[in-house]
Structure 1
Amino acid sequence: MPETPGIVFAIFFLVPAIYAIKLGLEVMARLMELLLPIIVIVYVLLLVLVIPKLEYTKFLPIMVGGIKPVLAGALPNINFPFGQILPVAFLYKYVKGNGGGDGKVGKGGNTDFIKYCFAAIIIATILLTFRAMASAAAFDEESLKSLTYAPFSTIRAIEIGNIIERLDYFLLGAFYGTTFFKFIITYYIICEVINDVIGKGKPANYAVPVAILILVLMPFLLPRFDLILKTVNPYLFVSLPIFFMVPLLLYITIGIKEKRNSRGNRGVDG
């Protein structure tokens, strides 16, 4: 769909996103809880089905050009998707303590949030690693360099009995599903931040104005995919403080808050 205007995809993303913001954070979380396991199963199943089409000798030679090309390809990918875990940190204040649903902050409730975030990062890293390995084993070096998004071409190689083929559409569905989840989380956080700054109403009140702002700015901020690729490296160095300092400050804040709450609970018990 290269000739389809980008605004069409933006509208298809924004309309359900506005509806999700209107319904609230809990409904969004329930939707993700329902669909995310299905998406992961489809993703893993596709990787399993493509295994017979892979040639593992294409991994060799390993690091023939040294470590620099590896780092040049790996470092920019810190942004996508690992750097985008930052909006999830804003959801910390909605986490209930002790997992009991009482809304109180207690021992274990806050650390569980961090544990689940790290578990999600580890699972995503494993899945993306296997995806990259599958792409590397499916094509030679020159062909791999010419592909815009190699995983789609890799999954396209799946054939089952000369009947079932072109399963890349399932990967496309998983891709857009996870991208939509990521978008509505970030979208909700933007509305939440605006609501906190203004101090009036609720996040849902700002869903439509933010959507209009995105539609207006999108042609200027994201005009072409090749420009996005060119800005990955500069963005990496600009965002390094965000990747490390913000999570570190969040961890320190959680520790201080837990100590204060434990002291307060001891004082009450005493």
Structure 2
Amino acid sequence: MEKGKISSLQMGMIMYLTIMSTAILTVPGITAKYAKQDLWLSPIWASLVGFMTLFIVMRLSKNYPQQSFFQICEHTAGLYIGKLVGFIYVCFLAYVTGQIIRSYADFILTVYLPQTPISVIVISMTVLAAFTVIGGLEVIGRVSQIFFPIFFFSIFIIIILLIPKLNLSYLLPIMEDGILPSLKGAIIPQIWFGEFFLIIFLFPFLSDQSKGRKWGMITIFMVLFTFVTANLIVLFILGQNIAGTLYPFLKATLFVNIGDFIENMDPLIIALWILGSFVKITVFYYVTALGIGQWLNLTDYKPIVWPLGILIVQLSFWSLPNLMVINHHDETVNPFLGLLMQTLIPLLLLGISSIKKKVKPVKI
């Protein structure tokens, strides 16, 4: 079905852009509601979900080499229950893809093109992503390889430019109310760390599978480092004003002013959001299309890319009518749905798989 191959390094770049492209702008504001000045600690606790998810998908991939996630479901839970679980995952992936596209469109609509019909933004991004998905995994890997250094280094150049504006006193007092607020703040970012679950769809197509675990771990540490750094920068710039701010990192970049020459960095952030969101949308779109093809036992997933695109566009409007609903879902529904689908159900599958391997059938 997918004949292309990518390296473990490309997989890491794909996962980094998939996670950080949306998280860096929205997560600090939500996390600060609960963790306040300890918001920089929350990604550390949330990363534990990422490490656990990576361990689970690597063990499943080792137990069932070259098997798709949907085949793993059927092997562990049986044909009928496995098919039902696979259908639930197809619906989940399509729903998340629609939500990502809607979040991207609302951002562009809010800060850049307020007079543009939202349908134009959604459809144009979906069409562009569809062409990339049809190109296959190798195309996605090469696109990520191009965008990754642009995204990564641009973020840290902005952070360096903000250093003269930092107020370190906003960090204190550390854990004033104990560890609980930072743990509550970790509930939201764990959704993004849980997205390392997507590696299970990419792992069978790695040209160097022996390095998959290593680059998965490196990517988690890079995501964690970026999360903590971005949260600290936002805290040092905005202080207690972070909580409730829709895009705090974007607001922080407005403070860049070096000799009245280097300023107005927000267009760069918008460009980075577009690049990163394109990769994230494409990856979820690809995994959804590939998953449907594997679930239906098709020989090729490409014929369903365009019909799926129409469905995703509709889902972006049906399930999420406005930005307030999206933010409400991020705080109430998605933390539990994401943890269940991305970590707990795979953990259950791993448990069943381990039991089956230990309990051997008795020969008569």
Which bracket does the TM-score occupy, shorter chain normalised?
A: 0.7 to 0.9
- The Cα of 1:146 is off from its aligned counterpart by 4.0
Are the aligned partners of 1:49 and 1:158 in contact in 2 as well (CA < 8 Å)? yes
AA aligned to 2:243 is K
Please state if 1:156 is matched with 2:267: no
Deviations 1:95-133 (A, max 9, x none): 13xx3xxxxxxxxx34x1122122111101101110000
Equivalent position to 2:202, from 70, 74, 91: 91
Pairs within 5 Å for 1:106-145: 109-110=209-210, 112-141=211-240, 143-145=241-243
In the other structure, the counterpart of 1:72 is 184
Pick closer, same or farther for the CA change 1:247–1:173 going to 2, 3 Å. Answer: farther
In the other structure, the counterpart of 1:63 is 175
Q: 1:114 & 1:244 partners in 2: Cα distance?
A: 20
Q: 2:149 & 2:225 partners in 1: Cα distance?
A: 15
Please state if 1:13 is matched with 2:113: no
AA aligned to 1:69 is P
- The Cα of 1:87 is off from its aligned counterpart by 2.0
Pairs within 5 Å for 1:166-177: 166-177=264-275
- The Cα of 1:199 is off from its aligned counterpart by 2.8
- The Cα of 1:205 is off from its aligned counterpart by 1.3
Pick closer, same or farther for the CA change 1:60–1:175 going to 2, 3 Å. Answer: same
Are the aligned partners of 2:147 and 2:276 in contact in 1 as well (CA < 8 Å)? no
In the other structure, the counterpart of 1:82 is 193
- Larger of the two Rg values belongs to structure: 1
In the other structure, the counterpart of 1:106 is none
In the other structure, the counterpart of 1:229 is 327
Are the aligned partners of 1:20 and 1:27 in contact in 2 as well (CA < 8 Å)? yes
Please state if 1:206 is matched with 2:301: no
- The Cα of 1:12 is off from its aligned counterpart by 2.6
TM-score normalised to structure 2 length: 0.61
Equivalent position to 1:246, from 333, 342, 346: 346
In the other structure, the counterpart of 2:314 is 216
Unaligned runs of 5+ in 2: 1-108, 357-364
Unaligned runs of 5+ in 1: 100-108, 257-270
Secondary structure at 1:191 match in 2: helix
CA RMSD of aligned residues (A): 2.5
In the other structure, the counterpart of 2:137 is 25
- The Cα of 1:213 is off from its aligned counterpart by 0.4
TM-score normalised to structure 1 length: 0.81
Equivalent position to 1:183, from 281, 284, 290: 281
- How many residues are paired up? 242
Greater shift, 234-243 or 199-208, is seen at 234-243
Greater shift, 211-220 or 169-178, is seen at 169-178
